């Protein structure tokens, strides 16, 4: 069965520092992987996705993620954190067939001035 594990329910960084949010997946077949962001009282917004091809994926707002099959990881990074990046981030995998998306428990990012 496919699953997603996000390491760290809370991450705190200083403004301008590197952001690293960790995600590991479990899948018996090549996965389709996603990162979403959720601001308070809002739905989820897609940051980036990996389906096939290039393993380094660039998304919106300066975020990127690298698919590493050998490590079953899809960590999200951003070189320099902004105050506006403070939000909840979810890693997700689509079950083969596309009928179901499985989300991780989420990581709340705090950005300190």
Q: Does 98 bind another protein (CB under 8 A)?
A: yes
Report in angstroms how near the CB of residue 17 gets to another protein at its nearest. 25
Residue ranges of E strands in the chain:
3-7, 10-14, 19-26, 32-38, 44-50, 56-58, 64-68, 73-78, 87-94, 101-103, 107-112
Taking the complex as a whole, the smallest distance from the CB of residue 78 to another protein amounts, in Å, to 20
Contact 82, 59 (CB under 8 A): no
Nearer Cβ to another protein, position 36 or 81? 36
Nearer to another protein, 17 or 95 (CB): 95
Taking residues 39 to 78 in sequence order and writing x for each that binds another protein by CB under 8 A, - otherwise, the string is: --xxxxxx--x-x---------------------------
**Among 12-20, 35-43, 66-74, 75-83, which window interacts with another protein (CB under 8 A)?**
35-43
Query: Residues with Cβ < 8 Å from 50, sequence gap 6 or more?
Result: 31, 32, 33, 34, 57, 65, 67, 74
Of the chain, the end-to-end C-alpha distance in Å amounts to 41
Site for another protein (CB under 8 A): how many residues? Answer: 24
Nearest in space to 44 (alpha carbons), one of 95, 101, 5, 99 = 101
Binding site for another protein (CB under 8 A): 32, 34, 36, 41-46, 49, 51, 90, 92, 94, 97-106
């Amino acid at each position: 069965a496919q699953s997603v594990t996000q390491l760290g329910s809370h991450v705190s960084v200083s403004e301008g520092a590197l952001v690293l949010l960790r995600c590991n997946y479990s899948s018996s077949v090549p996965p389709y992987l996603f990162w979403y962001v959720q601001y308070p009282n809002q739905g989820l917004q897609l940051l980036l996705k990996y389906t096939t091809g290039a393993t380094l994926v660039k998304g919106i707002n300066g975020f990127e993620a690298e698919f590493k099959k050998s490590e079953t990881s899809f960590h999200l990074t951003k070189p320099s954190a902004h105050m506006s990046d403070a939000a909840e981030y979810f890693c997700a995998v689509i079950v083969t067939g596309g009928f179901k998306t499985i989300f991780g428990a989420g990581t709340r990012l705090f950005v300190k001035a």
